[in-house]
Amino acid sequence: MRIERHPSIHFITLGCAKNEVDTNRMRALIEASELFDIEEDVTKADLVIINTCSFLTEAVNEGIELTLELAQEKAENQINCPIVMAGCIPSRYGSELIPELPEVAAFVPVDKEDTIVQVCLEVLQIEYSGNLKQPKVARTVEAACAYIKISDGCDRFCSFCAIPYIRGRYYSRSPREILDESAYLVDQGVKELVLIGQDTGIWGSDLEPPLNLAWLLREVAKIARKVNGWVRVLYLQPEGMTQDLIETIRDTPEVCKYIDIPLQHVSEEILKRMNRRGNAREFLELIQHLRAEIPNITLRTTYMVGFPGETEEDFEELVSFAEEAQFDYHALFSYSPEEGTEACELPNQVEEDIKLERLQKMTDICDSLGHASAAQHIGKTYPVLVDGLEEEEDGLTTIIGRCSFQAPDSDGVVHIEQGSAVSGETVYVTITDSACYELFGDIVQREV
């Protein structure tokens, strides 16, 4: 191909925050190469990269359907725009996909994403023999809040989960890389750094010499301190809650007093079948301990219903636990059998209608707990980090932001009804109302 202008690339990201970070990294590599432009409008792009998720069969189907729809649309409009499929679907299914999806020009599994520039050159048949320009830090900044992946892969092999087969064995990113990335993001205007991984609590245990998450949080907090920013950590498995970590969250002002512990279930029998540890009593003790140690802590968890062998009694144990534990935020799933996982082969798979019934019951309970927790903020004043503007149903725009007890993309936002502020600014907001998980408020003071 002879090019008069840089070919343009459009990214589509499916799945979780970890995928967003991966897309961001590929985008930074593409931008730094100075060989392509990023195109925000998919209809105008010369090449589309779909970064896929394959955590659940549903997510795989979504990724494949989107790819086929896009391919069909391009064919109908006679647009030659190759599609590259990146991320978790190619990692999970490998070369099996090639005969199945001739619409895709190239597959880039997670561990090959650093080669994205070469892949795009090949797909677009561009000859380039120079050295590829690399970014100093492979990140682009799109908002006042940024996710930082501190590890990848997982060694836990929960029996329902395909992640260890998709993302591979657990490894911690080096502290140097994480701290350089944090410093870069803060220099570029980021105010909230969100540390993520499949299993953040064991960060550093595989490094030589070993380090730990509490140390890392304190180091990242020093960087955030320069801009009066926040640090948050997500996906802490219960075993990762060391006293050092609890005290670090409590005593480090920049660290959000927010803990996300995905428990999945509380019945000891179900947890054993899940290849996980713990029971309802231990988890309640942990929660009481967290609440006693960290005043005003906000807690989030994930529950899964309908795991193979879940009896009515197991389910009722989960219900009673949820009512007693009163997490502020919940993510709820019903079990879905994932090809290649151990749980797929377990006897006593729960029927779909029972799973749905249980999911609905848990949703009602958890929503009522969550909405009551959100309503408790009415009348209080908090620092709010402004994320930007959002178009409301009436067509008008409102400033939106988040309190430190609201993680991005999951816990609702604060809609600011009175006052002005810009993205990245932290302002004091008095909460005047709540609707489900959404909060509404007025700015009472700019610049915290």
Residues that bind ligand SF4 (CB under 6 A): 154, 156-158, 161, 163-164, 198-199, 237
- The DSSP 8-state label assigned to residue 133 in this structure reads P
Which residues make beta-bridge pairs with 38? 9
Tell me how far, at minimum, the Cβ of 154 lies from ligand SF4, in Å. 3
Tell me how far, at minimum, the Cβ of 201 lies from ligand SF4, in Å. 10
Tell me how far, at minimum, the Cβ of 267 lies from ligand SF4, in Å. 17
* Parallel, antiparallel or unpaired: strands 298-305 and 329-334: parallel
Tell me how far, at minimum, the Cβ of 157 lies from ligand SF4, in Å. 6
Tell me how far, at minimum, the Cβ of 274 lies from ligand SF4, in Å. 8
Tell me how far, at minimum, the Cβ of 167 lies from ligand SF4, in Å. 8
| Other residues' Cβ atoms within 10 Å of the Cβ of residue 261 | 22
98-107 long-range Cβ contacts below 8 angstroms, 24+ apart: 101/64, 101/67, 103/67, 103/68, 103/71, 104/67, 104/71, 105/47, 106/82
| Residue closer to ligand SF4 (CB basis): 167 or 355 | 167
Tell me how far, at minimum, the Cβ of 162 lies from ligand SF4, in Å. 8
CB under 8 Å to 26, separation ≥6 — which residues?
A: 11, 49, 51, 86, 113, 116
Report whether the peptide linkage leading into residue 209 is cis, meaning its omega lies within 30 degrees of zero. Answer: yes
| Residue closer to ligand SF4 (CB basis): 154 or 431 | 154
| Residue closer to ligand SF4 (CB basis): 158 or 416 | 158
Distance of CA 427 to CAs 18, 183, 309, 403, 423, Å?
A: 28, 23, 50, 10, 11
Tell me how far, at minimum, the Cβ of 326 lies from ligand SF4, in Å. 23
| Residue closer to ligand SF4 (CB basis): 150 or 161 | 161
| Residue closer to ligand SF4 (CB basis): 154 or 403 | 154
* Parallel, antiparallel or unpaired: strands 47-52 and 37-38: unpaired
**H/E run at residue 277:** none
| Residue closer to ligand SF4 (CB basis): 22 or 199 | 199
Helix 213-225 and helix 243-251: axis angle, to 10°? Answer: 10
| Other residues' Cβ atoms within 10 Å of the Cβ of residue 377 | 20
| Residue closer to ligand SF4 (CB basis): 168 or 388 | 168
Which two tokens mark 346? Answer: 């377990």
Write the DSSP string, 87-128. EHHHHHHGGGHHHH-TTEEEEEEGGGGGGHHHHHHHHTT---
| Residue closer to ligand SF4 (CB basis): 158 or 299 | 158
